[in-house]
Chains A and B, each alone.
Chain A
């Protein structure tokens, strides 16, 4: 428990009548890269604002290194934020922006200079100190914002969708740099994004959120391979979600057939949802796979073909294949028991984890 930098205990937040956070409970361990992932309006930015001290909880407690920090003003918290719009001060140049926090702490001039230069070097902006903010590109402003935050050596760095304004290539580049920076500094990062790809690429731990609740938390691989419910499966990556029935442990029925799978712990004949990722499906000649489907559309995406097809029961299938097919052609889909993931309706994260324990 001592390793937890931040802890939320039954945190609720409402604006007027609207509840934006609903009984949020989580623990953040020191030195890891966390991502809060969810669609707009799911409450992820509100969590960040609560940690930073820009807003106060309606009920519940926020602990920072074991100490309750509810109501503590932002300037007395050992966290720093990289804002979505960067929020760089336009009346100060790059050096003065980065030095802002150090000057407030009344450090000596030469000490400030050393630290600011170091921070600018970390974000590859050495020699940019005298530039005005308006002269910088979006990517450079982003780096200044990061330097301005990390120069204060916070315990936790909060990043509020910092990459959303950058173009695709620059965003990819910054993802790598941020991840690298986090490893080198050993600071806990809490990153907010609605981009699942970004979350999977950067995080040690992801919290998937929707409508003011944390639906699932876990490593990127866990969340991708074993989504807890329809929302998570759909939000993280692409997926085929087909209604089915659990015959017994390790046997699931969907599409009018029984399939072997690796999940257990459900009631016999319990209705479930079956998830199969498009990239786990292989296209085979007709009748040589598990399901026969007819191809409806095919898109070439560079790395692969994105194919949609339907089976005899009119379920839609998404397939990512490196081999092209023809529209209207009937092919077989081949997959292994490990490619099938079963989701129960309305299962909570605790129940889900407990069930996995029983047969892992």
Chain B
């Protein structure tokens, strides 16, 4: 608390996080439980406890490292870190904020290209029909990621089990869903 008061003028990432999602990075005392429990920590360039430490330094260089990291996109929001944090720091909410900031500042890590392509395809699908259309999602993702051959053997097996539909369900409120997307576009 005292720390952030000294920095009322600053525009560090930590103070932005505190203002937007009420998560105080300065509370972290580096116990490492988040990184120990994180299922994807070993894939990350900075495991969660290290993201917290970088934030605490409040330097432009370290803020930049976080926004350009692969870590923020690998986080699967399993909520394990928050569940185990002795200081109850809401790292998952913070990660959502960091992902959105990384995109709006055009600092997205290149390795996260496919993860983001998938999220965009997912939202595209519901934007136009109101519900997720799984076949449409897969095809749109292939178009965005250019991974044409991936999961090619999965589709026939899904079809034979009645798990993949050829026609999307379009809800009555599709126009309303379109307006929701429009009003919340950032």
Physical interaction between A and B: no
Binding site for A on B (CB under 8 A): none
Binding site for B on A (CB under 8 A): none
